[in-house]
Amino acid sequence: MKTFAELDLIAPVQKALADENYKSPTPIQAKTIPSAIRGRDVLGCAQTGTGKTAAFAVPILNRLGSKNRKALPNHPFVLALAPTRELAIQIGESFSTYAAHLHLRQAVIYGGVNQMRQVRALNRGAHILVATPGRLLDLMNQGHIHLDQLDVFVLDEADRMLDMGFLPDLKRIIRQLPQQRQSLFFSATMPPNIVKLSQTLLTNPVSVDVTPKRVSVEAIEQQVHLVPRQGKQALLQQILKSPGVVQTLVFTKTKRRANVVTKQLIRKGIGATVIHGNKSQGARQRALEDFRTGRVSVMVATDVAARGIDIDGISHVINLDIPIEPEAYVHRIGRTGRAGAEGVAMSFCSPEERGDLRAIEKLIEQKIPVVSGELHSNTDQQHPATITPKNSRDRGHRNA
């Protein structure tokens, strides 16, 4: 299979994929989507960064769009479980992107925030529910969620779920699932406890094993700047005004942060534009054209929106926020240093992001040089990280 057009997808889903400039499925998408469309259970071994979310979101949306059912209050048709709030939000954003031309409602629920807005979304009715296990069980126990109408169950990052101690919660949730359902199960690894869990969920599944391509990062100069979260914006502005920083792609974790950062840069006289999933297709195309032609020198983006960016000449990639998924780091910095050109990738790391940085270094099998700042422990709240930058004229050059 070479293109999405060869898949048996309804027109609104095809149009959403075309809007995102997605032409060819990744290996896991090519192997998963046809079986999932036919209603088969899927056991997928794949890491984040392989296109896994679209592999389950696209066939789910194809199914919902074909049936054209009205959402029922408190009775979702699809449940996607994720181990963390951040991943749940990312999955929700992906569903929104691929459902752009479908009249579907979704709710994303997770702990750590007031539940009232989430309860209102459930009461209105949501075709798709993306959830973390703890908040899901809380709202189920309160009577706000019933799973008897569920058609599709997705368990994403199962190995991480177990590592975080969610197995008891998962067992309680699984007991509430209807017998007649489709289940899509994904894990980056398949140790015996994961295989055992999958056997309780899946019926005659199609097995998909995708080893992600190792993306070379050797041609890219990588740097870490250790800085507290509240100091990131000032450091960003300082670097963007440095010589040699010509065309820069800045990554943030959320759409809201991308908007805020862009407005602050513009106020400081730095030509910037922003691209993320809430922008219309026309707005995204204009932003890309402004960046490609040099009318602006900075583009601020989220991971999902940046997947369609294919622009040569990007001199710098700046991770304003360290990505929570190590594979996303490799995809981000691969935007620079193309076609033999030199490229620099800078990552701003706050004390809270140390674990994410270590995970990235483990994935790429190298330590990333720290070029500025001093990182203190999370317990040392009285002495936040400070910046001790190199000469700003040197920063951003490969021979620095």
Residue 397 has pLDDT above 70, yes or no: no
Residue 217's pLDDT is 66
Q: How far apart are CA 327 and CA 276, in angstroms?
A: 19
Classify the C-alpha dihedral 321-322-324-329 as positive or negative: positive
pTM, 2 dp = 0.60
Residue 141, CB half-sphere, CA atoms under 13 Å: how many? 9
CA angle 242/370/322 to nearest 5° reads: 85
Give the end-to-end CA distance of the chain in Å, rounded to a whole number. 45
- Mean pLDDT of the region 169-188: 95
Q: What is the pLDDT of residues 306-352, one digit of tens each?
A: 655 667 788 999 999 998 878 788 878 888 876 556 789 999 999 99
Residue 1's pLDDT is 63
- Mean pLDDT of the region 152-171: 90
Residue 165 has pLDDT above 90, yes or no: no
DSSP state of 351: G
Q: How far apart are CA 73 and CA 145, in angstroms?
A: 9
Residue 379's pLDDT is 33
Residue 387's pLDDT is 32
Residue 390 has pLDDT above 50, yes or no: no
Residue 213 has pLDDT above 60, yes or no: no
Q: Where are the alpha helices (DSSP H) in the chain?
A: 11-19, 27-37, 52-67, 85-98, 116-124, 133-141, 158-163, 167-175, 192-201, 232-240, 255-267, 281-293, 303-306, 326-333, 354-364
Q: Which two tokens stand for residue 9?
A: 């997808």
Residue 46 has pLDDT above 50, yes or no: yes
State residue 368 phi and psi, 5-degree precision. -90, 125
- Mean pLDDT of the region 73-87: 93
Is 344:396 a contact under the CB 8 Å cutoff? yes
Residue 339's pLDDT is 55
The answer to which of 28-32, 49-53, 74-78, 89-93 has the lowest mean pLDDT is 49-53
Q: Which band of pLDDT confidence, cut at 50, 70 and 90, is reported for residue 376?
A: very low
- Report the share of the chain in percent with pLDDT over 70: 87
Is 202:41 a contact under the CB 8 Å cutoff? yes
| Average pLDDT score, the chain | 86
- In terms of Cα–Cα distance, which of 118, 134, 213, 218 is closest to 169? 134
Q: Give the distance from CA 222 to its chain's centroid.
A: 22
Residue 150 has pLDDT above 60, yes or no: yes
DSSP state of 49: T
Residue 136's pLDDT is 98
- Mean pLDDT of the region 246-253: 93
Residue 304's pLDDT is 63
Residue 161 has pLDDT above 80, yes or no: yes
Q: Which domains does the chain have, with CATH numbers?
A: 4-209 (3.40.50.300), 220-372 (3.40.50.300)
Is 145:139 a contact under the CB 8 Å cutoff? yes
Residue 305's pLDDT is 59
Q: Which band of pLDDT confidence, cut at 50, 70 and 90, is reported for residue 223?
A: very high
Which of 19-23, 197-201, 300-304 has the highest mean predicted lDDT (pLDDT)? 197-201
Q: Which band of pLDDT confidence, cut at 50, 70 and 90, is reported for residue 228?
A: very high
- Mean pLDDT of the region 71-78: 98
Residue 142's pLDDT is 98
Distances (CA, A) of 263 to 143, 238, 303: 42, 16, 19
